[in-house]
Amino acid sequence: MSTIAYFNPVKYNPIQVYAFSFSDQEMDCTPFPAREDISILSYIIHGILVPVLFGIGLMGNFVIVVLSNHPSLRKESAVFVYICGLAVTNAIILLCTVPTTLQQVEIFPANVTFSRPMAYADMVCYIFGTIGHHASLWLLVMLGFFTVYSWRHPFTSSRMSRNSTNRIVVFVSVLVCALIDFPRFLEVNVSEVMGHCFVGMSLWRFDVAEFSSRQLLAVAYPWLVTGLCHVMPLTLILVGAMLLWRDAGWRQLRDARVALRTTSDVDQRRLGLVKTIWIVLLVGFSLELPKLAVRIAEHVSGLTADHGRILYCAELVAHYLCLIQTSVGFFLYTIYCSDFRKALRRTFCCLCADEYYEPCACCSVSYRKNLKEIRKLDERQSGRKTAKHATSRRHRQNGNDWWRNPPRVVDPRRTYDSFDLYRNGSIYSTRSVTMTTTSGYPGGSVASIPQYDVIPDVRNNGNDAKTSLRDGSPSMCHVIDNGRVSRDTAEDHPWV
* 427 pLDDT higher than 50: no
Q: Is residue 291 part of a domain?
A: yes
DSSP string, 279-290: HHHHHHHHHHHH
Number of domains in the chain: 2
pLDDT grade for 150, boundaries at 50, 70 and 90: confident
Q: What is the pLDDT of residues 218-268, one digit of tens each?
A: 678 888 888 898 999 999 999 999 998 887 765 555 444 444 444 455 667
* 91 pLDDT higher than 90: yes
* 478 pLDDT higher than 50: no
Residues 402 and 373 in one domain: yes
Q: Is residue 11 part of a domain?
A: no
Task: Determine the average pLDDT of the residues in 140-159.
Answer: 82
241-245: list long-range contacts, CB under 8 Å, 24+ apart: 241/144, 241/278, 241/281, 241/282, 241/285, 243/144, 243/145, 243/148, 244/144, 244/147, 244/148, 244/151, 244/274, 244/277, 244/278, 244/281, 245/278
pLDDT grade for 209, boundaries at 50, 70 and 90: low
Residues 285 and 169 in one domain: yes
Q: Is residue 38 part of a domain?
A: yes
Residues 286 and 401 in one domain: no
* 64 pLDDT higher than 60: yes
pLDDT grade for 375, boundaries at 50, 70 and 90: low
Q: Is residue 4 part of a domain?
A: no
Q: Which residue has the higher pLDDT, 481 or 363?
A: 363
Q: Domain ends where: 297, 313, 348?
A: 348
DSSP string, 145-166: HHHHHHHHSTT---GGGSHHHH
Winning range, highest mean pLDDT, from 30-44, 369-383, 461-475: 369-383
Residues 278 and 185 in one domain: yes
Q: Domain range for residue 382?
A: 367-492
Q: How far is the C-alpha of 154 from the C-alpha of 342, rounded, in Å?
A: 21
Q: Is residue 9 part of a domain?
A: no
Of 262, 431, 91, whose CA–CA distance to 420 is shortest? Answer: 431
Q: Is residue 1 part of a domain?
A: no
Residues 344 and 378 in one domain: no
Tell me, what CATH number does 312's domain have?
1.20.1070.10
Q: Which residue has the higher pLDDT, 137 or 350?
A: 137
Residues 84 and 46 in one domain: yes
Task: Determine the average pLDDT of the residues in 438-458.
Answer: 37
Residues 283 and 337 in one domain: yes
pTM reported for the whole predicted model: 0.62
Residues 379 and 339 in one domain: no
Q: Which residue has the higher pLDDT, 117 or 478?
A: 117
Tell me, what's the pLDDT at 416? 39
pLDDT grade for 61, boundaries at 50, 70 and 90: very high
Contact 13, 104 (CB under 8 A): yes
Tell me, what's the pLDDT at 381? 62
* 11 pLDDT higher than 60: no
Q: Which residue has the higher pLDDT, 479 or 189?
A: 189
Task: Determine the average pLDDT of the residues in 449-473.
Answer: 39
Task: Determine the average pLDDT of the residues in 179-184.
Answer: 84
Find the DSSP H helices in 302-415: 309-327, 329-336, 338-348, 364-382, 384-398
* 476 pLDDT higher than 50: no
Residues 244 and 330 in one domain: yes
* Beta bridge partners of residue 469, listed in sequence order: 452
Q: Is residue 259 part of a domain?
A: yes
Q: What is the pLDDT of residues 390-423, one digit of tens each?
A: 555 555 455 444 444 444 444 444 443 433 433 3
* Beta bridge partners of residue 386, listed in sequence order: none
Q: Domain ends where: 348, 378, 397?
A: 348
Contact 451, 418 (CB under 8 A): no
* 12 pLDDT higher than 50: no
Tell me, what's the pLDDT at 135? 93
Average confidence score pLDDT of the chain: 67
* 24 pLDDT higher than 60: no
Residues 341 and 378 in one domain: no
pLDDT grade for 30, boundaries at 50, 70 and 90: very low
Q: Which residue has the higher pLDDT, 363 or 231?
A: 231
Q: Which residue has the higher pLDDT, 370 or 368?
A: 370
Residues 282 and 186 in one domain: yes
Exposed, middle or buried, 277 (CB in 10 Å: 0-12/13-18/19+)? buried
Q: Is residue 287 part of a domain?
A: yes
Q: What is the pLDDT of residues 296-334, one digit of tens each?
A: 888 777 655 455 677 878 888 888 899 999 999 999 998
Tell me, what's the pLDDT at 340? 86
| Percent share of the chain, pLDDT over 70 | 53
Residues 340 and 372 in one domain: no
> Given the DSSP bridges, would you call strands 27-30 and 19-22 parallel, antiparallel or unpaired?
antiparallel
Q: Domain ends where: 288, 313, 348?
A: 348
